[in-house]
Amino acid sequence: MLQVTINSFSYSEKEILKNIVFNLEKGKHLAILGESGCGKSTLLHLIYGLLNLDQGSIYWGNKRLEGPKANLVPGEPFIKIVSQEFNLMPFISVSENIASHLSRMDQQLDDSRVDELLSVVALKAFKDTVAKNLSGGQKQRVALAKALANKPELLLLDEPFSNIDTKRKNKLRRDLYEYLKVNNISCITATHDSEEALGFSDEIIIIKEGVCITQGVPMAVFENISSEYEAGFFGDVSVLPSTLFQTNASSKSEILLPHQLFITEGESNLKVIVKKAYFRGKDFLIQADWNGKDVFFENSEKLEQGMVINLLKK
């Protein structure tokens, strides 16, 4: 349903995005992973229609989305975007903010719709609260509900849970993405949260300096990490010579996440000295030293500083 081809996009003379090509089917969820400043927000703004794309094209079905040069009011009516600026009316209530996008032709139907969305974002208790009195996380949840009021065909989310505490965020993500699936609403989420991307998306694109460096279903992206940049989204990274693990290695280095290394009681080529142990609840993340390089691995028990440990790769 959505077809994006961005050959190049620049602000003044600075190129922000290039060679970005992807399709998004109806009802599917795409996660855009990338560090701050890589072009994620610009990509969403291009799709929504806030920026003109001269070198490339964006289609929704057979309709070409032309951007502000073709629309008096920027933005496509069937697309909603939720950015980190919440765009709420501060002096009216939560329910009034959500209902501001509804037709108001049928008060009972509108009230029912508002209640449904308040349930999705877990804000029923704040229905009559004036928006300016909400916390940042609560305002973000109102913005999500407001964007869903008219059931958009495509929802664009720019770091949608950045202001929401972990306990609330986990349930909200489950409820929101389930709601989108049930209602067949396509979604693109720009994020740096790999847990969110892996757990809730149908496809992931990783962007570095405005260029797509990998693309695929979550499991394939995770299992085929090919650079330190990619690996960094999924945990602490150890970059070690391949010859530590195999004599005739085809590549010069191994890019490893903590779960890919384990302790062996026997001798190994990778002998490390423990520097620190970080308790994570279910286990410890161990930071160790190998020839001046940091090595990270998981262990069920705390290891004391200075211990010498032999490691193998899983």
Domain ranges of the chain: 2-226, 235-313
Angle at Cα 87 formed by Cα 82 and Cα 90, nearest 5°? 140
DSSP state of 240: E
pTM to 2 decimal places: 0.92
| pLDDT in the model for residue 250 | 66
What is the third-level CATH fold of 235-313?
OB fold (Dihydrolipoamide Acetyltransferase, E2P) (2.40.50)
Rounded Cα distance, 66 and 53, in Å: 8
What is the third-level CATH fold of 2-226?
Rossmann fold (3.40.50)
Token pair of 33 as six digits = 């992973």
Q: What is the pLDDT along the chain (314 residues), one digit of tens a residue?
A: 899 999 999 988 889 999 999 999 999 999 999 998 899 999 999 999 999 999 999 999 999 998 888 877 778 889 999 987 778 898 999 999 999 878 777 888 888 999 999 999 999 999 999 999 999 889 999 999 999 998 999 999 999 888 888 888 999 999 999 999 999 999 999 998 999 999 999 999 999 999 999 999 999 999 999 999 999 999 999 999 998 988 776 678 999 999 999 999 999 999 999 999 999 999 999 999 999 999 999 999 999 999 999 999 99
Token pair of 103 as six digits = 């037709």
Contacts of 177 (CB under 8 A, 6+ apart): 29, 187, 200
Rounded Cα distance, 178 and 181, in Å: 5
| pLDDT in the model for residue 40 | 95
> Residue 295 class from Cβ within 10 Å (0-12 exposed, 13-18 middle, 19+ buried)?
buried
